[in-house]
């Protein structure tokens, strides 16, 4: 593992908190930006919940649900949440900053996790990787071909702590509404 990969993995959470603080200071929502942004963010929340309900970390290769279309539906959901909230803020600079940070941090993280999954699941992951795009959704992967196919359960959603993004969504939504009035 390269030193840069480890650095990026370590800074992603503190960088997120720093961006969050900047977001809180500079956001100035307008009625239309708030509604549009919160709708985009709620799609991201839904995607994260759907993905978490199919994910059994380090136990089974997830290929069901949204994993049929993208290898990283949790990150795609986070991306949509971030885009939604920066749109809601009504500040183009925040949108540009978010996009830059997301690409800078999460592209290397996805590649690093890909190496780990290849080591863990070998040929099954290689076959999956060849047919499913890294980030933006593509044609569905035939889940009947993989031992990692699983059905959605709320128990997995809870175990994967997807209540945290929901609580964050509710808190930021209330904050932005407060900034609006």
- For position 119, what pLDDT does the model report? 95
81: in domain: yes
pLDDT at position 143 = 62
pLDDT confidence of residue 145: 54
Exposure of 166 by Cβ count < 10 A (0-12 exposed, 13-18 middle, 19+ buried)? middle
Is 155 contained in some domain?
yes
- Say if 46 falls within a structural domain: yes
116 in a domain, yes or no? yes
CATH of the domain at 106: 1.20.120.1630
The answer as to whether 104 is a domain residue is yes
Parent domain of 170? 22-180
Q: How many structural domains is the chain composed of?
A: 1
* Structural domain includes residue 168: yes
pLDDT for 3: 60
Residue 32 belongs to some domain of the structure: yes
- From residue 166, give the alpha-carbon distance in Å to each of 8, 30, 34, 130, 151: 25, 22, 17, 32, 22
Whole-number pLDDT of residue 181: 82
pLDDT tens per residue across all 181 residues of the chain = 556 656 776 777 788 788 888 998 999 999 999 999 999 999 999 999 999 999 998 889 999 999 999 999 999 999 999 999 999 999 999 999 999 999 988 898 899 999 999 999 999 999 999 999 999 998 887 766 555 567 899 999 999 999 999 999 999 999 999 998 8
Residue 133 counted as domain residue: yes
* Dihedral angle, C-alpha 173, 174, 176, 181, nearest 10 °: 140
- What's the pLDDT score for residue 19? 86
């Amino acid at each position: 593992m390269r030193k840069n990969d480890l650095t990026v993995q370590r800074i992603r959470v503190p960088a997120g908190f720093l961006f969050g603080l900047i977001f809180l200071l500079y956001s100035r929502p307008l009625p239309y930006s708030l509604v549009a942004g919160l709708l985009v963010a709620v799609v991201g929340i839904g995607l994260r919940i759907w993905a978490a309900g199919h994910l059994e970390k380090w136990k089974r290769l997830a290929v069901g649900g949204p994993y049929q279309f993208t290898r990283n539906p949790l990150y795609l959901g986070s991306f949509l949440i971030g885009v939604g909230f920066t749109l809601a803020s009504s500040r183009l600079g925040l949108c540009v900053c978010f996009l830059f940070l997301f690409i800078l941090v999460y592209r290397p993280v996805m590649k690093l996790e890909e190496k780990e999954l290849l080591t863990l699941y070998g040929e099954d992951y290689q076959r999956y990787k060849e047919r499913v795009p890294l980030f933006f959704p593509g044609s569905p992967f035939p889940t009947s071909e993989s031992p990692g196919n699983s059905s959605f359960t709320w128990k997995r959603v809870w175990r994967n702590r997807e209540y945290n993004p929901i609580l964050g969504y509710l808190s930021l939504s209330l904050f932005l509404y407060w900034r609006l009035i």
